[in-house]
């Protein structure tokens, strides 16, 4: 699944290649997407390359090749405005509303090995308004398989209600030791906090409470087939 900015950039690159036979410069891409710096373009290009949508050609300046376009995109490369796959909120399907909203997409969160969540201020994603309740929300892309038995697969996008509030046993975004972020079930075991995977291959981590900060709880899942 691509973010709106990634889709817009891919469409722009594809259009320029068809018109001029050469990919646009980073300055042109920045201006076309209305970004403030080229660092945002570098992140978007890297994300598209990692997902197999573009390829950088070695030893050539401004050399990008479009490998494929999103299946749901029109021939013109128009960006996708809503997910085509099923949407659930806490495991229950919800109907697709007539309107959707835009949430910040903070990057890939490892559901297997904790990683620092990448907070890209230019990355956003549109989600159905029905899965967002009160308060602030953001989205993360799942990486890894440690939550597979909870129905969270590698490449899924999860919607997170921001904040420290949760109920024991819920799936939360947990910041460990102020430097690594993971998506896990959270339980209390005596005086310890337990971060539990939904895959028997991964051990439950028992930590002192002051080492764990809850940054949000899972409220929705978006999957594209």
Catalytic residues: 146, 184
- Rounded to whole angstroms, how far apart are CA atoms 1 and 23? 23
Cβ partners under 8 Å of residue 81, min gap 6: 4, 100, 126
Residues 89, 223 contacting (CB under 8 angstroms):
no
Question: CB-based burial of residue 18 (10 Å sphere; 0-12 exposed, 13-18 middle, 19+ buried)?
Answer: exposed
Cβ partners under 8 Å of residue 223, min gap 6: 83, 85, 86, 87, 153, 156, 157
- Phi/psi for 49 (5° steps) reads -70, -40
CA angle, 121 as apex, 36 and 141 as ends, to 5°?
140
The 3-class SS string of 103-131 reads EEEEEEEECCCCECCCCCCCCEEEEEHHH
Question: Cα torsion at 205, 211, 217, 223 (round to 10°)?
Answer: -50
Residues 128, 94 contacting (CB under 8 angstroms):
yes
């Amino acid at each position: 699944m691509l973010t709106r900015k990634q889709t817009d950039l891919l469409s722009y690159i594809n259009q320029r290649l068809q018109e001029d036979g050469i990919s646009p410069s980073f300055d042109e891409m920045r201006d076309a997407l209305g970004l403030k710096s080229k660092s945002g373009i570098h992140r978007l290009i890297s994300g598209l390359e990692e997902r197999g949508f573009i390829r950088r050609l070695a030893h050539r300046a401004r050399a990008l090749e479009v490998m494929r376009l999103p299946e749901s995109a029109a021939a013109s490369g128009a960006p996708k405005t809503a997910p085509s796959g099923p949407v659930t909120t806490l495991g229950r399907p919800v109907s697709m509303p007539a309107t959707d909203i835009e949430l910040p997409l903070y990057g890939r969160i490892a559901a297997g090995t904790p990683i620092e969540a990448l907070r890209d201020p230019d990355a956003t994603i549109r989600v159905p308004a029905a899965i967002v309740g009160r308060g602030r929300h953001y989205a993360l892309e799942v990486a890894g398989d440690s939550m597979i038995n909870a129905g969270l697969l590698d490449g899924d996008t999860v919607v997170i209600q921001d904040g420290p509030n949760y109920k024991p046993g819920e799936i939360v975004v947990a910041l460990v030791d102020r430097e690594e972020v993971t998506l896990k079930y959270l339980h209390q075991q005596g005086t310890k906090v337990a971060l539990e995977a939904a895959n028997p291959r991964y051990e439950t981590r028992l930590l002192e409470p002051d080492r764990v900060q809850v940054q949000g709880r899972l409220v929705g899942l978006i999957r594209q087939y």
